[in-house]
Structure 1
Amino acid sequence: MNLREIVARNLRTLRHAKGLSQEELADRAGINRNYVGMLEREEHSATVDMLEKLAEVLEVDPAEFFRRSE
Protein backbone atom coordinates (compact mmCIF):
# COMPACT_ATOMS: atom_id res chain seq x y z
CA MET A 1 0.00 0.00 0.00
CA ASN A 2 1.49 3.38 -0.99
CA LEU A 3 1.44 6.49 1.20
CA ARG A 4 -1.42 8.13 -0.70
CA GLU A 5 -3.58 5.06 -0.01
CA ILE A 6 -2.57 5.02 3.66
CA VAL A 7 -3.36 8.72 4.11
CA ALA A 8 -6.70 8.32 2.33
CA ARG A 9 -7.69 5.33 4.45
CA ASN A 10 -6.63 6.98 7.69
CA LEU A 11 -8.36 10.26 6.84
CA ARG A 12 -11.63 8.40 6.21
CA THR A 13 -11.23 6.31 9.38
CA LEU A 14 -10.42 9.32 11.57
CA ARG A 15 -13.28 11.34 10.07
CA HIS A 16 -15.76 8.53 10.72
CA ALA A 17 -14.42 8.10 14.27
CA LYS A 18 -15.32 11.75 14.93
CA GLY A 19 -18.74 11.25 13.35
CA LEU A 20 -18.11 13.92 10.72
CA SER A 21 -19.29 14.03 7.14
CA GLN A 22 -16.90 15.17 4.45
CA GLU A 23 -18.81 18.45 4.34
CA GLU A 24 -18.55 18.99 8.11
CA LEU A 25 -14.82 18.26 8.10
CA ALA A 26 -14.29 20.60 5.16
CA ASP A 27 -16.30 23.39 6.80
CA ARG A 28 -14.35 23.13 10.04
CA ALA A 29 -11.03 23.06 8.16
CA GLY A 30 -12.04 25.94 5.88
CA ILE A 31 -11.64 23.93 2.68
CA ASN A 32 -13.86 22.70 -0.14
CA ARG A 33 -15.89 19.54 0.56
CA ASN A 34 -14.95 18.15 -2.83
CA TYR A 35 -11.29 18.31 -1.85
CA VAL A 36 -11.87 16.05 1.16
CA GLY A 37 -13.55 13.53 -1.14
CA MET A 38 -10.68 13.71 -3.61
CA LEU A 39 -8.19 13.04 -0.81
CA GLU A 40 -10.20 10.05 0.38
CA ARG A 41 -10.47 8.69 -3.18
CA GLU A 42 -6.72 9.18 -3.68
CA GLU A 43 -7.27 11.64 -6.53
CA HIS A 44 -5.10 14.28 -4.80
CA SER A 45 -2.25 14.24 -2.32
CA ALA A 46 -2.54 16.53 0.67
CA THR A 47 0.21 18.98 1.49
CA VAL A 48 1.86 18.91 4.89
CA ASP A 49 0.02 22.14 5.73
CA MET A 50 -3.31 20.57 4.78
CA LEU A 51 -2.62 17.46 6.86
CA GLU A 52 -1.79 19.70 9.81
CA LYS A 53 -5.07 21.58 9.38
CA LEU A 54 -7.11 18.37 9.08
CA ALA A 55 -5.34 16.86 12.10
CA GLU A 56 -6.22 19.92 14.15
CA VAL A 57 -9.90 19.60 13.27
CA LEU A 58 -9.83 15.85 13.93
CA GLU A 59 -7.88 16.40 17.17
CA VAL A 60 -5.13 13.94 16.29
CA ASP A 61 -1.40 14.08 15.76
CA PRO A 62 -0.66 14.59 12.04
CA ALA A 63 1.49 11.44 12.16
CA GLU A 64 -1.77 9.45 12.50
CA PHE A 65 -2.35 9.95 8.76
CA PHE A 66 0.73 7.80 8.06
CA ARG A 67 -0.03 4.98 10.51
CA ARG A 68 -0.01 1.60 8.80
CA SER A 69 -2.56 -0.93 9.99
CA GLU A 70 -1.10 -4.19 11.20
Structure 2
Amino acid sequence: MTLDQYNEAVKGILAEQQKIAQSTAQLAMSGQANPANPEFARIMSSQWALVQQIAKLNTDLMLGIMAPKK
Protein backbone atom coordinates (compact mmCIF):
# COMPACT_ATOMS: atom_id res chain seq x y z
CA MET A 1 0.00 0.00 0.00
CA THR A 2 1.34 3.40 -0.92
CA LEU A 3 0.79 6.53 1.13
CA ASP A 4 -1.67 7.75 -1.51
CA GLN A 5 -3.67 4.52 -1.16
CA TYR A 6 -3.58 4.93 2.63
CA ASN A 7 -4.92 8.48 2.32
CA GLU A 8 -7.71 7.36 -0.01
CA ALA A 9 -8.67 4.53 2.36
CA VAL A 10 -8.79 6.93 5.31
CA LYS A 11 -10.93 9.39 3.33
CA GLY A 12 -13.38 6.60 2.53
CA ILE A 13 -13.56 5.53 6.17
CA LEU A 14 -14.11 9.10 7.35
CA ALA A 15 -16.89 9.58 4.79
CA GLU A 16 -18.57 6.40 6.03
CA GLN A 17 -18.21 7.59 9.64
CA GLN A 18 -19.91 10.85 8.67
CA LYS A 19 -22.89 8.88 7.32
CA ILE A 20 -22.99 6.86 10.54
CA ALA A 21 -22.92 10.08 12.60
CA GLN A 22 -25.88 11.45 10.64
CA SER A 23 -27.86 8.23 11.08
CA THR A 24 -27.06 8.14 14.79
CA ALA A 25 -28.14 11.76 15.20
CA GLN A 26 -31.46 11.03 13.47
CA LEU A 27 -32.06 8.07 15.77
CA ALA A 28 -31.11 10.14 18.82
CA MET A 29 -33.48 12.95 17.89
CA SER A 30 -36.32 10.46 17.55
CA GLY A 31 -35.45 8.80 20.87
CA GLN A 32 -34.44 5.52 19.21
CA ALA A 33 -30.66 5.57 19.84
CA ASN A 34 -30.52 2.76 22.37
CA PRO A 35 -29.00 -0.74 22.42
CA ALA A 36 -32.44 -2.39 22.22
CA ASN A 37 -33.02 -0.91 18.75
CA PRO A 38 -31.67 -3.31 16.07
CA GLU A 39 -30.97 -0.43 13.67
CA PHE A 40 -28.87 1.35 16.31
CA ALA A 41 -27.01 -1.88 17.09
CA ARG A 42 -26.28 -2.35 13.37
CA ILE A 43 -24.98 1.20 13.08
CA MET A 44 -22.73 0.76 16.12
CA SER A 45 -21.39 -2.51 14.69
CA SER A 46 -20.56 -0.70 11.46
CA GLN A 47 -18.80 2.03 13.42
CA TRP A 48 -16.75 -0.54 15.34
CA ALA A 49 -15.71 -2.21 12.07
CA LEU A 50 -14.53 1.16 10.74
CA VAL A 51 -12.57 1.85 13.94
CA GLN A 52 -10.84 -1.50 13.51
CA GLN A 53 -10.04 -0.76 9.85
CA ILE A 54 -8.50 2.60 10.66
CA ALA A 55 -6.54 1.09 13.56
CA LYS A 56 -5.05 -1.47 11.18
CA LEU A 57 -4.22 1.19 8.60
CA ASN A 58 -2.54 3.34 11.25
CA THR A 59 -0.60 0.36 12.63
CA ASP A 60 0.61 -0.50 9.15
CA LEU A 61 1.65 3.11 8.64
CA MET A 62 3.54 3.25 11.96
CA LEU A 63 5.29 -0.05 11.25
CA GLY A 64 6.29 1.17 7.83
CA ILE A 65 4.32 -1.45 5.93
CA MET A 66 3.96 0.80 2.94
CA ALA A 67 5.25 0.36 -0.57
CA PRO A 68 7.34 3.12 -2.09
CA LYS A 69 5.58 5.30 -4.63
CA LYS A 70 6.37 4.22 -8.20
Q: TM-score, normalising length from structure 2?
A: 0.31
Q: TM-score, normalising length from structure 1?
A: 0.31
* Structure richer in helix, relative to its length: 2
